C-alpha cells in the first residue's frame, strides 16, 4: 500500500495529485432546522464550481433560502452513482471544486456519498469535510444513554434473515447502538431489536431539530406499547443501550447455553470429571436436579 498524506497546511501530496486538480468538499446541511446551516457551509456552496446533490429539488430550496446561485447543480444518488461518480471525479481532476450535499445532514452517512469519497481518494483528490448537523449524533448526545462508546448501524436490511445476521454479532457490543428508521418500519424494527437483545432501554429520537422534536425513553416493550397508541410520524433515530455488565456476566456464566445436556455433561467429562461428577456440575449450571440430567441422557440413548 502507498501511504497518502493529505494536509490542508502542507501540500505533502502535491506530487501525487493530478496537476490543477480541484477538491471535493463534503458539506453538512441542516436535518430540519435551517439555523443549523454553518457560515462555512454557505460560503463553500457559494464558492464551489459544482454542487452535487442527492435530490436536486430539495437542494434548490435550501440554496434559494441562503441566496446561493450554483454555477452547476448535478444529481448524484444511489441510482445514478455508477455513471455520475466518475463524471464528477473527471470535473474535479480538470480543476473544478465540487461540493457534495445530501438531502439532510452529513453527506456520506447512510447515502452514496461514501462511494464518491472513495473514488476521490483513489485519485489523490483532496477531500475536505465541512461539518454540520447529523441525526445519529444529535440523538445520541440527548439520549441519556452512555456516549463513551457507540456503534452506528444506520438502516437495517429489509429481510428478516439479513436483519438477524446484522444484529447477532452486536449482542455483546457494550457501547450504545444507533439505527436510522422510517416511521413505517420503526415499530417492526423494535420487535427485531427485542428478539435480538431482550427488553433493553431504548430512546426513539423523532423529528430532531424540528418543531415536533420528541424523545421517547423507556424499555423496548414500553416504546412498542406507546407506538401502538401513538402511530409513528416523521423521521426516527433509534438509540439502543449496549450490553449491560449484568448481561455480560450472565452470558459469560452461561457459556453452556448453546450446548445440549449431553454435550454439556461431555464437556465436564472430557475435562477430567468422573461421569457422576460431570452430571452433577451440568445439573448445577442449569439449575436442574441430577435426576433430570440422567433422564435426559437416557432419552438421548
Minimum Å gap between C-beta 230 and ligand SAM is 16
With H, G, I as helix, E, B as strand and everything else as coil, classify residue 60.
helix
35 phi-psi bin (left φ>0, alpha ψ -120 to 50, beta other): alpha
Rounded CA-CA distance 280/273 in Å is 10
Per-residue contact flags (x/-) with ligand SAM for residues 163 to 192, judged by CB under 6 A: -----------------xxx----------
- Within 87-106, the residues that bind ligand SAM by CB under 6 A are 102, 104-106
- Within 129-148, the residues that bind ligand SAM by CB under 6 A are 134-136
Minimum Å gap between C-beta 139 and ligand SAM is 7
Measuring CA to CA, how many Å separate 104 from each of 109, 171, 241? Answer: 10, 30, 26
Minimum Å gap between C-beta 171 and ligand SAM is 22
Minimum Å gap between C-beta 47 and ligand SAM is 22
Q: Which residues contact 247 (CB under 8 A, 6 or more apart)?
A: 198
- Rule CB under 6 A: say whether 29 interacts with ligand SAM: no
Rounded CA-CA distance 211/34 in Å is 12
- Rule CB under 6 A: say whether 202 interacts with ligand SAM: no
Total residues found in the chain within this entry: 301
* Total of chain residues touching ligand SAM, rule CB under 6 A: 24
Report how far apart the first and last C-alpha atoms of the chain are (Å, whole number): 58
Residue facing ligand SAM at closest CB distance: 105
Minimum Å gap between C-beta 39 and ligand SAM is 19
Among 236, 261, 282, 293, binds ligand SAM (CB under 6 A): 236
Q: Which residues contact 24 (CB under 8 A, 6 or more apart)?
A: 92, 98, 100, 116, 117, 120, 125, 126, 127, 128
- Rule CB under 6 A: say whether 241 interacts with ligand SAM: no
Rounded CA-CA distance 255/281 in Å is 13
148 phi-psi bin (left φ>0, alpha ψ -120 to 50, beta other): alpha
* Closest CB to ligand SAM among residues 122, 182: 182
Q: Pairing between strand 98-101 and 24-27?
A: parallel
Rounded CA-CA distance 237/214 in Å is 11
Among 36, 235, 241, 243, binds ligand SAM (CB under 6 A): 235
Minimum Å gap between C-beta 1 and ligand SAM is 29
Minimum Å gap between C-beta 179 and ligand SAM is 8
Contact 101, 27 (CB under 8 A): yes
* Closest CB to ligand SAM among residues 111, 241: 111
- Rule CB under 6 A: say whether 36 interacts with ligand SAM: no
Among 36, 111, 241, 243, binds ligand SAM (CB under 6 A): 111
Please give the residue ranges that form the binding site for ligand SAM (CB under 6 A).
Answer: 31-32, 102, 104-106, 109-111, 134-136, 180-182, 205-210, 235-237
Amino acid at each position: 500500500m502507498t501511504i497518502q498524506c493529505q494536509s490542508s497546511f502542507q501540500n505533502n501530496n502535491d506530487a501525487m495529485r493530478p496537476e490543477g486538480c480541484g477538491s471535493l468538499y463534503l458539506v453538512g446541511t441542516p436535518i430540519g432546522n435551517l439555523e443549523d446551516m454553518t457560515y462555512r457551509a454557505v460560503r463553500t456552496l457559494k464558492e464551489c464550481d459544482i454542487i452535487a446533490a442527492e435530490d436536486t429539488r430539495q437542494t434548490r430550496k435550501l440554496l434559494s433560502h441562503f441566496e446561493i446561485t450554483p454555477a452547476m447543480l448535478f444529481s448524484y444518488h444511489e441510482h445514478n452513482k455508477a455513471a455520475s461518480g466518475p463524471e464528477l471525479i473527471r470535473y474535479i481532476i480538470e480543476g473544478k471544486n465540487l461540493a457534495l450535499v445530501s438531502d439532510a445532514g452529513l453527506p456520506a452517512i447512510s447515502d452514496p456519498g461514501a462511494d464518491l469519497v472513495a473514488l476521490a481518494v483513489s485519485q489523490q483528490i483532496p477531500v475536505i469535510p465541512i461539518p454540520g448537523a447529523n441525526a445519529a449524533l444529535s440523538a445520541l448526545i440527548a439520549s441519556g444513554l452512555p456516549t463513551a462508546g457507540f456503534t452506528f448501524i444506520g438502516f437495517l436490511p429489509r429481510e428478516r434473515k439479513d436483519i438477524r445476521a446484522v444484529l447477532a454479532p452486536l449482542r455483546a457490543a457494550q457501547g450504545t447502538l444507533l439505527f436510522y428508521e422510517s416511521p413505517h418500519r420503526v415499530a417492526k424494527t423494535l420487535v427485531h431489536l427485542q428478539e435480538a437483545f431482550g427488553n433493553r432501554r431504548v430512546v426513539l429520537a423523532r423529528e430532531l431539530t424540528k418543531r415536533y422534536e420528541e424523545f421517547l425513553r423507556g424499555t423496548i416493550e414500553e416504546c412498542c406499547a406507546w407506538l401502538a397508541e401513538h402511530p409513528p410520524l416523521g423521521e426516527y433515530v433509534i438509540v439502543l443501550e449496549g450490553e449491560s455488565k449484568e448481561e455480560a456476566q450472565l452470558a459469560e456464566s452461561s457459556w453452556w447455553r448453546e450446548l445440549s445436556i449431553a454435550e454439556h455433561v461431555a464437556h465436564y467429562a472430557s475435562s477430567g470429571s468422573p461421569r457422576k461428577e460431570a452430571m452433577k456440575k451440568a445439573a448445577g449450571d442449569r439449575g436442574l436436579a441430577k435426576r433430570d440430567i440422567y433422564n435426559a441422557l437416557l432419552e438421548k440413548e
